[in-house]
Amino acid sequence: MERRVVPFAPLKPGEVGLYTCGPTVYNFAHIGNFRAYTFEDILKRTLEFFGYKVHQVMNLTDVDDKTIRDSRAANLPLRTFTEKYKKAFFEDIKTLNIEPAEVYPAATDHIPEMIALIKILMEKGFAYQAEDKCIYFSIAKFPAYGRLARIDRENQRAGVRINTDEYAKDSVADFALWKAWDENDGDVKWESPWGPGRPGWHIECSAMSSKYLGTAFDIHTGGIDNMFPHHEDEIAQSEAANGKKWVNYWLHCEHLMLNGEKMSKSLGNFYTLRDLQAKGWRGQEIRWVLVGAHYRKKLNFTFEALAQARETLNRFSAFFARMRGVSAPGDGSEIRGQIDSALEKFGSAMADDLNTAEAVAQLFELSREANRLADAGTLSKAGAAEVLAAFRKFDSIIGCLDVDKVPEAEEIPPELAALAEQRAAARKAKNFAESDRLRDEISAKGYLIEDVPGGGWRLKKK
């Protein structure tokens, strides 16, 4: 709201109410949509990292202009049509390791709550029924209209009406709360005091957020394109009805771009998560690309970035395997200072408006330090275990590393990891005779050893 970073203070100590606008379930979500959901996941996990208990509500928009249009084109009942995409959405967030919200209210299950809210707006004089039988919100009655999206009062065309769910800033006008049924809606309609019809998109979020989070809560988020008109309209409806401030903090993520244009269904320039999976990319690789950029910066999607993510994550897996194989004695004090410093810097970067790029730099820094000590043979088993524990903490937010996952096919017996370790130390000491002997010993046990730049190694079954 203020376009600056402000300290976060929750309404209830230790708890956070978080409302995140969810998918419109008329198609498979594309990775632009998933940039928004991943950013929200990072926000939630960061709050949890700092000990907050987060109550997240994400709505499912299963009735609006687009779901009705496409269910009719598919010749399917609305519910059957949206069910398929709801199911796909839950599969997809699992693929991306997105923590589930506490509640996923669907719009069609909350029509009475929306009608009740519109009734209050009618009683208080903020809404009116027009000749077309639709109910509109009168923006002239709400002087704060436009504060979030920063729209001048002069550009507001009070009294002019718009009944589509989405519209541009230059057509700001009284917007529809309840849309009277017409033949384009087919059999999609509910009874209301104003005749049969259906809710507008914006009223869904006002009604469902107050049902599950109360009439005032901490944080509301979405993609930047949600700011206007969707969030502006949500504020008008909620604050007019409740007569008080609704949301304390607003966060919006910038767009995921493809060749310089916003990735979007309407432009047709998009990849669904499933498209990328079909090309062989894994959820963690896609997540790594999305997480690495700051949420308020535009991010251009490329396959080079995915390839780099694969390379980076493979290196981390090899690094974790190496750490598991460390067997030298000691109490971990040789690396504790670096671990504490990395965790400290990681935490402050995330606390500073989710600076993921800076936070991720700590992962590279700590792995470099640990590799350096392991090369010199001075990293202890206890130290390596502490390094792994630190990476589990990093990954409680980053969510891409799978620190403890040993791919079954590549599971390396500890005895072989120990031989590989000894060989790395021998190479470091330029004892090439010993290093060759160890290579042969490893080979005789059925494994090939490859050197990884920076002193690491990788074992493969022959």
The footprint of ligand AMP (CB under 6 A) covers: 21, 23-24, 32-33, 35-36, 222-223, 225-226, 253, 255-256, 262-264
Q: State the nearest-atom distance from the C-beta of 21 to Zn ion, in Å.
A: 3
When CB distances are held under 5 to 8 angstroms depending on the partner's kind, the choice from Zn ion, ligand AMP, none that residue 205 binds is Zn ion
Residue 321 parent element (H or E)? helix 303-325
Q: State the nearest-atom distance from the C-beta of 37 to Zn ion, in Å.
A: 13
Q: Considering the complex, state which of residue 58 and residue 426 has its C-beta at the smaller distance from Zn ion.
A: 58
Tell me which residue has tokens 């499933």: 274
135 strand-pairing partners: 129, 178
Nearest C-alpha neighbor of 217 from the set 237, 245, 252, 242: 245
When CB distances are held under 5 to 8 angstroms depending on the partner's kind, the choice from Zn ion, ligand AMP, none that residue 23 binds is ligand AMP
**CB 276 within 8 Å of CB 287:** no
For 396-423, b where at least 16 C-beta lie within 10 A, e where not — what string? ebbbbbebeeeeeeeebeeebbebbbbb
Q: Considering the complex, state which of residue 48 and residue 225 has its C-beta at the smaller distance from ligand AMP.
A: 225
Q: State the nearest-atom distance from the C-beta of 299 to ligand AMP, in Å.
A: 8
Interface with Zn ion, residue 213, by CB under 5 A: no
Among residues 78, 117, 177, 205, which is the contact residue for Zn ion, using CB under 5 A? 205
Q: Assign residue 76 a region (left: φ > 0; alpha: ψ between -120 and 50; beta: otherwise).
A: beta
- 229 upstream amide cis, omega within 30 of 0: yes
Q: State the nearest-atom distance from the C-beta of 82 to ligand AMP, in Å.
A: 12
Interface with Zn ion, residue 21, by CB under 5 A: yes
Q: Considering the complex, state which of residue 60 and residue 350 has its C-beta at the smaller distance from ligand AMP.
A: 60
Q: State the nearest-atom distance from the C-beta of 437 to ligand AMP, in Å.
A: 55
Interface with Zn ion, residue 177, by CB under 5 A: no
Q: State the nearest-atom distance from the C-beta of 307 to ligand AMP, in Å.
A: 21
When CB distances are held under 5 to 8 angstroms depending on the partner's kind, the choice from Zn ion, ligand AMP, none that residue 32 binds is ligand AMP
**CB 267 within 8 Å of CB 30:** no
Alpha carbon distance 327, 337 (integer Å): 20
Q: How far is CA 115 from CA 66, 70, 206, 345, 403, in A?
A: 21, 25, 11, 49, 49
When CB distances are held under 5 to 8 angstroms depending on the partner's kind, the choice from ligand AMP, Zn ion, none that residue 458 binds is none
221 strand-pairing partners: 20, 251
Q: State the nearest-atom distance from the C-beta of 206 to Zn ion, in Å.
A: 8
When CB distances are held under 5 to 8 angstroms depending on the partner's kind, the choice from Zn ion, ligand AMP, none that residue 36 binds is ligand AMP
Alpha carbon distance 439, 158 (integer Å): 79
Instruction: Considering only the C-alpha atoms of the chain, give the largest distance between any 2 of them, rounded to a whole number of Å.
Output: 92
When CB distances are held under 5 to 8 angstroms depending on the partner's kind, the choice from Zn ion, ligand AMP, none that residue 35 binds is ligand AMP
Q: Considering the complex, state which of residue 253 and residue 350 has its C-beta at the smaller distance from ligand AMP.
A: 253
Per rule CB under 5 A, count of chain residues that contact Zn ion:
2
The gap from C-alpha 145 to its chain's centroid, in whole angstroms, comes to 28
Q: State the nearest-atom distance from the C-beta of 36 to ligand AMP, in Å.
A: 4
Q: Considering the complex, state which of residue 247 and residue 276 has its C-beta at the smaller distance from Zn ion.
A: 247
Apex 34 CA angle, 29 and 36, nearest 5: 125
List interacting residues with Zn ion (CB under 5 A): 21, 205
